[in-house]
Amino acid sequence: MYRLALLVLVACGRGSPAIVADGAPPPSPDAAPDAYVAPAPLEIHGLGVMGFVLSWHGEAVMTAPLYTRQSAFDVSLNLPLASDTAAIDQYLAQGGVPLDEVRAIVSGHAHYDHFIDVPHILTLAPDAKAVTNLTGRHVLAALAPDRPACTNEQPTPVIERSRVIAMDDPFANYTDYTNCPDQRPDGAPLHGQWLQVGAHIRLQAFCSMHPAQVGGVYHFGAGSIDTDQCALPDAASGWLEGQTLAYVIDFVDDAGRPVYRVFYQDAPTNAPIGQVPDEILAEKPVDVALLCVGSYDAVTDQPEDILANLQPRFALSGHWEDFFQGVGSTATIPLLDIGTYVQRAEAAMPGPPDPGFLVDGVPAAKRHVLVQPDSRYAVPPRAMLDQ
């Protein structure tokens, strides 16, 4: 039972109408309809587990990958666990991840499978910030060059505090609590604001939750870290989740108008927690939902509820792998019914995908895809008629 608990732990408009793309400026009324060039596709690289690289207009967002692996036996014994920097270097290089373009490394909570590799990746992506929760910020404080309360030797790598953003910091106001007001910290506003992390990228967080991983009872890594740390956690169990967050990630044009909108969760939720308020969706619909499969059976009506809320054009589901196996393994989380999840997702997203939605260079057959390690996707712009 304990091994099972660990296996699912974080789970997881003039003349002929011109075609324009949502969020992009329409052509001049005097221009020929075919003079308009649609925006380039949004490129998505699935790294495995809940790791993705979203790239557009020379900038990228990475959702935290997991290349460090430890056996279920070693995790059960609470043995020491350090980030596997050699594996991180190897797989990011093999995948051709554009680290110089990464502006943010995003994590919705601070369990080890979502956060342990972030410090090293920050050293490889010099223009990236860690976008996390307060627990994640307190953990990474162990690597800050100024650690006034610490007497131990400075751990490595060194990460400047300015590179770590806690979205649930009540003084930052980057988290929206509309759908779970009881989670709102004292002094924090109900509605969130956007965080700009690049010339063409903005993010906003939404209060979410992490279910207990086994039978609605056993919850690995529950709780928060509320003070700056002097060292990174020794074992997997020390990486506590903190406030779980979901995200909307917008890729915007030069005028700041959203061209692509991506939703990201790294844990399934009970509605309406973890969902996006209607007023946000009314501004710009979701193009792609990045959803977490692990522990979907520990909450109600997933993935149907989140898909009904978001109404995305496409959905990519990850975090279904048994991550106690080697990187790239397609072994599934034991006893988790992946087939039923896929059937339910496909039923909630009927109809063919828009032309131009590619999976590893091939037109996609369906609007929902179960993400395979090291897979690649091209998302076309949302076309509409300029009335």
pLDDT for the residue 382: 87
Which of 52-61, 219-228, 263-272, 278-287 is predicted least confidently?
Answer: 219-228
- The pLDDT > 70 percentage for the chain reads 88
Q: Residue 36: its pLDDT value, please?
A: 58
DSSP, res 62:
E
Q: Which residues contact 272 (CB under 8 A, 6 or more apart)?
A: 179, 180, 309
pLDDT exceeds 80 at position 387: no
Q: What is the pLDDT of residues 318-358, one digit of tens each?
A: 999 999 999 988 999 988 999 999 999 999 999 999 999 99
Local confidence band at 23 (pLDDT 50, 70, 90 cut-offs): low
List the domain range (segments joined by +) for residue 155: 2-385
Nearest to 80 by CA among 109, 108, 112, 51: 112
Neighbouring C-beta atoms of residue 128, cutoff 10 Å: 25
Confidence at residue 18, expressed as pLDDT on a 0 to 100 scale: 35
pLDDT of residue 384: 42
This prediction has a pTM of 0.90
* pLDDT tops 60 at residue 19: no
CATH at residue 73? 3.60.15.10
Q: With bands split at pLDDT 50, 70 and 90, how would you rate the model's confidence at 251?
A: very high
Alpha carbon of 292 to those of 10, 84, 315, 353, 367: distances in Å? 9, 23, 10, 21, 16
Cα(275)–Cα(208) distance, integer angstroms: 8
Q: Is the pLDDT of residue 383 over 90?
A: no
Helices vs. strands in the chain: H and E counts, helices first:
9, 19
Task: Tell me: pLDDT of 385 over 60.
Answer: no
Q: Are 49 and 328 contacting, i.e. CB atoms less than 8 angstroms apart?
A: no
Name the nearest CA neighbour of 345 among 276, 278, 293.
Answer: 293
Average pLDDT over residues 34-52: 88
Give the pLDDT band of residue 73 (cuts 50, 70, 90): confident
- What pLDDT score was predicted for residue 360? 97
Whether residue 45 has pLDDT greater than 90: yes
Reading the block at residue 20, the tokens are: 């324009």
Q: Considering its fold, how many domains does the chain have in total? A: 1
Mean pLDDT within 206-217: 81
Higher pLDDT among residues 32 and 40, named by residue = 40
**Each residue of 137-191: pLDDT tens digit?**
999 999 999 999 999 999 999 999 999 999 999 999 999 999 999 999 998 999 9
pLDDT at position 9 over 80: no
What's the pLDDT score for residue 15? 33
Give the pLDDT band (50/70/90) at residue 76: confident
**Identity at 319, one-letter amino acid code:** H
Please report which confidence band the pLDDT of residue 236 belongs to, taking 50, 70 and 90 as the band edges. very high
Provide the pLDDT for residue 305: 98
- Phi first, then psi, for residue 106 (nearest 5°) are -105, 135
Q: Is the backbone peptide bond immediately before 145 cis, with ω within 30 degrees of 0?
A: no
Q: Is the pLDDT of residue 24 over 70?
A: no
User: What CA–CA distance (Å, rounded) separates 140 from 173?
Assistant: 20
Cβ-count burial 26-59 (b if 16+ within 10 Å, e if not): ebeeeeeeeebeebebbbbbbbbbbbbbbbbbeb
Average pLDDT of the chain, as a whole number = 90
The closest alpha carbon to 311, from 342, 281, 271, 274, belongs to 281
Residue among 317, 315, 349 nearest 333 (CA): 317
d(CA 237, CA 78): 7
Q: What is the mean pLDDT of residues 101-106?
A: 98
- What pLDDT is recorded for position 8? 41
Q: Is the pLDDT of residue 27 over 90?
A: no
- Say yes or no to pLDDT of 309 above 70: yes
